[in-house]
Structure 1
Amino acid sequence: MLLLLIPLSFVESLIKERESLRQQTVTEVSSKWANSQEIYGPILTIPVQKRVQPEDGSKLFKDEIHILPSQLNIQGIVTPRKLKRGIYEVVVYDAEVSFSGNFDSIQKVLDQWSDYEVALEEAFLTIHISDLRGIREKVTLQWNDLSKQVSPGSAIPVLIPSGITVKDLETIQPDASNAFAFDLQLQGSEHLGFVPLGKETTVMISSNWQDPSFSGAFLPVDRSVTEAGFEAEWKVLELNRNYPQFWLGNAHTQPLKTSAFGVDLLLPATDYQKAMRSAKYGLLAISLTFLTFFLVEIFNKRKLHPFQYILIGLALVLFYTLLVSISEHTTFNSAYLISSGIIIGMIALYAKAILQSILQTLVLVIILCFTYAFVFVTLQLQDYALLIGSVGLTAILAFTMYITRKINWYALSSEKSTT
């Protein structure tokens, strides 16, 4: 059994390697289509400056005031696609996302820095888009009912490392509400995320993807997941975040990132995880099978060669290689049924030849079927895996103690010595 731990460890390494290869494929395909998208904005930035006169002369300090929207509404429709690379599938998507909202009380913000000179005519908006390659259509922003063209790149790279900028906001109204609206046609992979910049942020996303995973700092306040797809709505208030509505300089960069939320469109990637978990039960399968053969030796006084034990053990280890390779082309449950059927059949034919007893072979087959069924149920009931495993092993040990309770082990040793 200790010797068979060596090939069993090789099997676990193989599972990790195949899982890593799948992740590399996902990363490669995503990098060519567009990576996961995280969108937030717009942020209104107003340049300011202040002149101070220290003892060594006058100095001019320049800075920027960043203001977040008072109201931010986001609506999006996500259409997923599956791209294939070899035997692997990668989920990508096309998204149509509409942003709308307004900036209120800009003058009240500026009054808090009244000792600065404000260059209101140089104000600009910045919108964060994590992967600009995903933009499919020209972007036009409506600012106070006027169309504004956007330019690539971010003028505030510390706060927004990747995005687009809207300048020439000559119609900005400091004492009134300034409305904005724009649409984005985006491509992305696996994840679509947002940051709640508004004093009140509302996000509504719908898609025909049947298995979404909602992630990030906030979960939807309302969701509906059916076979036709999902709909989700988030509502985040200013009080739910750890940063204010406006500030001076490059503060609050990290809190912005940690408040992100969104949805993941992922294919179920649990097959390799299930295969790894089943491989961890490999010693259990080997133990029960060897115990059965050992008891056959005792009760029927038939001696098996260690080489025969090794061949049977290698067959049990081979099960996990079959499981991984077949599950890459079909479902995990089907792969488990096919692999266990092959191994049980192979061991049964071999046992019939060496034991020369149909009854003993049938008992062995029943025990193998029970072992693989026990592991399969444990894999499915993930929340109760420890409980089921503990109870099952206790029952197996109790049964073994019961059937071997009257064996005189010293008599077996003396009999072997006499022989």
Structure 2
Amino acid sequence: MENQNNLFEKMSNWLKNSVMLKLLTITILMLLLLIPSAMINDVIRERQSLQQEAIAEVSSKWANSQEINGPILTIPLLYEHEKEGKMVETVVYHYLLPQNLTINGKLKPQKLNRGIYDVVVYDSDLNVNGTFNMNISFDENHLKEIQYEKAFLTIGFSDLRGIGNNINFKWGDESLKVESGSKIADLISSGITIYPKNIASKNDLNIDFNFSVALQGSQDLTFVPVGGTTQVNLQSEWPSPSFMGNFLPKNRDINETGFNADWNVLELNRNYPQSWSGRSMKDKMDASAFGVNLLNEVDDYKKAQRSAKYSVMTIALTFLVFFLVEVINKKRIHPFQYILVGLALCLFYILLVSISEHSNFNLAYAISTFGIVGMISFYALYIIKARKLVIILILTLIGIYGFVYVTLQLADYSLLIGSIGLAVILGLTMYFTRKIDWYNLQTAKQNKMVEAEGN
């Protein structure tokens, strides 16, 4: 019976003091803490989704992103051919794009609020002018009639609600009436239509056109380069534009007071011709669009999401410090205490997201860091009961959060900084544990216990 009790005591002592078992327990705890980490990422995505819903709701009442396409001159062609002994007439649309197109615009951005979310919208004043070369060639095989009197111009606006003025379209010396709606839905789904006069009499001529439009939109403003040469100039007071689409500006000037950008796109730069009949070029035209996105200066959710990716590293390094305290200084820490520390580390990201929704991200990061580091440090002071070791823990946590913060700020170099940081951390761990005899660690513990019992 006494031998059996001794066996249970030895087993109990081994369970309490086994280094490998402690490592296994800590690893299992880290894996379990991945569950709240994943839940935190879900919360961040949910808040991000709510932000997108707020943007969509405000945009639906103001005006959505705008894309300008055109003007495109459409001339109906009447073809006649024989089918089953009968003459059949077919109307085919011939599309003509301007020889050159110039757009000068000023964007006036502003922020609208929906709850706690900011939505970027804009007013714009655009002046559009160009030239059509009316020297047009058609496929004359079975061509019966060129219906010049039914020709029309189409200008595409992706959201007609954003048009803020009655458009005065100048065609040569004439001012033409503008009608809402597109007659070439397979090419331009939303837009306005203009009916030019006396097209037939203007063959072999260059006809100038001009119009101005006050256009509202949200976030994006893009253009389809329909001109043989398309030149666009945009000016705005917005300091953080993101140039998007198939072409970047040839020249740009961005500073704290705003930006000025110039695009120059040639016919040879895009994958559709200046004129064609019948088939739709919509996909190719949409693919050639370019423009600007008025980014909100701070996308806190993306930063929070990126910082949460380092949660595993933060938990692992913090647990490593506690484990080394146990090994080197013989301070036993219960698994439940590891769990509390891990949950505190996870709480950092919830604090970061919730505070950043109402303040600056940098301030939210500082407050969250101070709160969590302070909480863990005070708790560790009672667990470890050694100020020097607590100071080392504080410096470690500050170093971890500082490292993550620097990585967030230098997004382009995050991989480089991350790999160097991890290499430094591994090197420091190897340095501080270089004198530990891991094989004899358990034996040393047991000998000390025997000595204590003998005394």
The amino acid across from 1:391 in the alignment is: I
Aligned position for 2:158: 130
Would you say the 8 A contact 1:109–1:246 is kept in 2? no
2:443 corresponds, among 408, 414, 417, to 414
Equivalent-residue separation in structure 2 for 1:132 and 1:36 (angstroms)? 11
Gaps of 5+ in 2: 1-29, 450-455
Aligned position for 2:90: 61
- Alpha-carbon deviation of 1:388? 2.0
- Pair 1:114–1:225, CA change in 2 (3 A): farther
Equivalent-residue separation in structure 2 for 1:203 and 1:377 (angstroms)? 38
- Alpha-carbon deviation of 1:332? 1.8
Aligned position for 1:221: 250
- Is 1:79 equivalent to 2:104 in the alignment? no
Aligned position for 1:253: 282
Tell me the SS of whatever aligns to 1:83: strand
Aligned pairs (5 A) from 1:321-340: 321-340=350-369
Aligned position for 1:373: 402
Tell me the SS of whatever aligns to 1:196: coil
Equivalent-residue separation in structure 2 for 1:50 and 1:406 (angstroms)? 93
Larger radius of gyration: 2
Q: Deviations over 1:311-355 (max 9, x none)?
A: 111111101111111111222221111101111111111111122
Aligned pairs (5 A) from 1:68-107: 68-104=97-133, 106-107=134-135
Equivalent-residue separation in structure 2 for 1:381 and 1:416 (angstroms)? 46
Aligned position for 2:137: 109
Quick check: which one's helix share is greater? 2
- The RMSD of aligned alpha carbons is 1.7
Q: After superposing the two structures, state which structure 1 stretch, 16-25 or 106-115, moved more.
A: 106-115
Equivalent-residue separation in structure 1 for 2:382 and 2:268 (angstroms)? 74
> How many positions carry a matched residue from both structures?
418
Q: Deviations over 1:354-397 (max 9, x none)?
A: 22222111111111111111111222222222222222222222
1:149 corresponds, among 174, 177, 187, to 177
1:42 corresponds, among 71, 77, 93, to 71
Would you say the 8 A contact 1:159–1:250 is kept in 2? no
Q: Deviations over 1:38-77 (max 9, x none)?
A: 0121111111101112342111111111111112111111
- Alpha-carbon deviation of 1:285? 1.1
Q: Deviations over 1:218-271 (max 9, x none)?
A: 111111112221111111111111111111113322111111011111203532
Would you say the 8 A contact 1:154–1:160 is kept in 2? yes
Aligned residues: percent identity? 51
Equivalent-residue separation in structure 2 for 1:389 and 1:228 (angstroms)? 34
Aligned position for 1:118: 146
Aligned position for 1:387: 416
Could you state the TM-score of these two structures normalised by the residue count of structure 1? Answer: 0.96
The amino acid across from 2:288 in the alignment is: S
- Alpha-carbon deviation of 1:402? 2.2
Aligned position for 2:8: none
Aligned position for 1:140: 168
Q: Deviations over 1:117-143 (max 9, x none)?
A: 101111111110100111111112111
Aligned position for 1:271: 300
The amino acid across from 1:108 in the alignment is: I
2:224 corresponds, among 195, 200, 207, to 195
- Alpha-carbon deviation of 1:415? 4.6
- Is 1:281 equivalent to 2:301 in the alignment? no
Gaps of 5+ in 1: none
Q: Deviations over 1:81-139 (max 9, x none)?
A: 110011110000111111111211x2432476683410111111111010011111111
Aligned position for 1:316: 345
Equivalent-residue separation in structure 2 for 1:334 and 1:379 (angstroms)? 14
Would you say the 8 A contact 1:124–1:169 is kept in 2? no
Equivalent-residue separation in structure 1 for 2:421 and 2:433 (angstroms)? 18
Would you say the 8 A contact 2:244–2:291 is kept in 1? yes
Q: Deviations over 1:2-61 (max 9, x none)?
A: 111111111111111111111111111111100000012111111110111234211111
Q: After superposing the two structures, state which structure 1 stretch, 389-398 or 107-116, moved more.
A: 107-116
Would you say the 8 A contact 2:153–2:195 is kept in 1? yes
